[in-house]
């Protein structure tokens, strides 16, 4: 056992380094600046590079360029920065660029509360750019899962050649915890599918829609085209309907084809329970405490913690809700993920427990508003 007293920022940085991150670019913005500072401190020690860009647009642009030369990049920002990242996130999707983005949520809109916690970016990070294609978004609940999900984010980004967002929050990155770092979960990150040689290199070639194109760094001995426009397998701009349709569906299908690996949930079912709590992010911590308190008083309630918020793990939610009559969704927003639960579970009563004053939801609020005190099976 190796116990340390650290915060979520340190866990994210350690997770990134374990995952092989060797490039970071970012711009200071509360409450994500700690990631920038620590990456600038740690990356040079291992031969990596960390840059403080002149702004958010430049920073994510540097990360895209670094990724296309074979680097494994990370960037970090908060809500206003994600707004500025939007166009380049679309470029990363279109160009099939592996990239991990840390979004440290704070109270919005606009400047909102720079030092105030919230979970108001839940829908924003899914629909952050034009096109309507699915984003992969992961949501930690504490220091340990911040480390684990950072490694998962890099694995998925590299495997699928996509941008992946880790949607954390001010309360998670700045909260100190005593944790057993030797027991942390993690995954190994494999190299991108490399160009095998032989046939002429086609930067966007795939056979089945769910295939991921081979990767060859820009600057290699073969020509590598990179474009922000709809393109064919050579990377040339095209408006031919058949090629446009095939490319667009490929960008969607390569994510959906990996659905099993994208479903990350923790289900704690109690026999006889008629109420299910569905929670993510920092609110899941209070939800866990509320469930434990109700159970200690003789109540029966189940809980599903969702770590992979996008794409929505629909079947896992349906499985957890089987036999339930009431669903409780605690969030530090106006009920953004509750909309997804209502869509996935039509006909069931869905109760939102919401707080938008910058304070963390308490177990007592979840018990009272969610009517968990009477959750006797």
pLDDT (tens digit, 9 = 90+) per residue, 145-181? 999 999 999 999 999 999 999 999 999 999 999 999 9
Mean pLDDT on 258-265: 94
Q: How many residues does the chain have?
A: 377
Mean pLDDT on 310-328: 97
Domain 263-369 listed as CATH 3.40.50.620: no
Tokens of 286: 């209070």
Residue pair 343/287 in contact by the 8 Å Cβ criterion: no
In angstroms and rounded to an integer, the radius of gyration of the C-alpha atoms of the chain is: 21
- Domain 3-183: what homologous superfamily? Thiamin diphosphate (ThDP)-binding fold, Pyr/PP domains (3.40.50.970)
Mean pLDDT on 212-236: 90
Percent of the chain topping pLDDT 90: 93
Domains 3-183 and 263-369 share a fold: yes
Supply the pTM of this predicted model.
Answer: 0.96
Q: What angle do CA 210, 211, 213 make, to 5 degrees?
A: 140
CA dihedral 359, 364, 366, 371 (to 10 degrees): -150
Name the residue ranges covered by the structural domains of the chain: 3-183, 263-369
pLDDT, one tens digit per residue, over 46-67 is 999 999 999 999 999 999 999 9
């Amino acid at each position: 056992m190796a116990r340390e007293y650290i915060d979520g920022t340190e866990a994210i940085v350690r997770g990134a380094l374990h995952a092989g991150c060797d490039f970071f670019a970012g711009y200071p913005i509360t409450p994500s600046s700690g990631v920038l500072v620590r990456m600038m401190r740690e990356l040079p020690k291992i031969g990596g590079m960390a840059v403080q860009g002149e702004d958010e647009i430049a920073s994510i642009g540097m990360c895209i360029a670094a990724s296309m030369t074979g680097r494994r990049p990370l960037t970090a920002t908060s809500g206003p920065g994600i707004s500025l990242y939007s166009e380049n996130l679309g470029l990363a999707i279109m160009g099939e660029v592996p990239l991990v983005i840390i979004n440290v949520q704070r109270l919005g809109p606009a400047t909102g509360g720079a030092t105030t916690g919230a979970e108001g970016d839940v829908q924003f990070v899914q629909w952050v750019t034009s096109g309507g294609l699915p984003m992969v978004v992961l949501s930690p609940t504490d220091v340990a899962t911040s480390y684990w999900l950072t490694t998962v984010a890099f694995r998925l980004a590299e495997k699928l050649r996509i941008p992946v967002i880790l949607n954390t929050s001010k309360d998670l990155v700045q909260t100190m915890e005593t944790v057993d770092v030797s027991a942390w979960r993690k995954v190994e990150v494999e190299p991108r599918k490399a160009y095998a040689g032989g046939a002429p290199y086609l930067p966007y070639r795939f056979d089945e829609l769910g295939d991921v194109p081979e990767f060859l760094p820009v600057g290699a001995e073969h020509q590598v085209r990179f474009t922000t426009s709809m393109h064919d397998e050579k990377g040339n701009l095209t408006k031919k309907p058949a090629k446009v349709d095939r490319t667009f569906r490929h960008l969607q299908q390569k994510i959906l084809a990996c659905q099993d690996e994208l479903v990350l949930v923790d289900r704690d079912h109690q026999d006889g329970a008629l109420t299910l709590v569905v929670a993510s992010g920092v609110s899941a911590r209070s939800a866990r405490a509320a469930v434990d308190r109700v159970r200690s008083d003789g109540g029966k309630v189940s809980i599903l913690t969702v770590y992979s918020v996008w794409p929505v793990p629909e079947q896992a939610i349906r499985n957890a809700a089987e036999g339930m009559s009431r669903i409780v969704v605690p969030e530090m927003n106006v009920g953004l993920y509750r909309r997804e639960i209502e869509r996935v579970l039509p006909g069931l009563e869905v109760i939102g427990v919401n707080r938008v004053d910058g304070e963390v939801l308490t177990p007592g609020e979840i018990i009272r508003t969610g009517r968990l005190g009477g959750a006797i099976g």
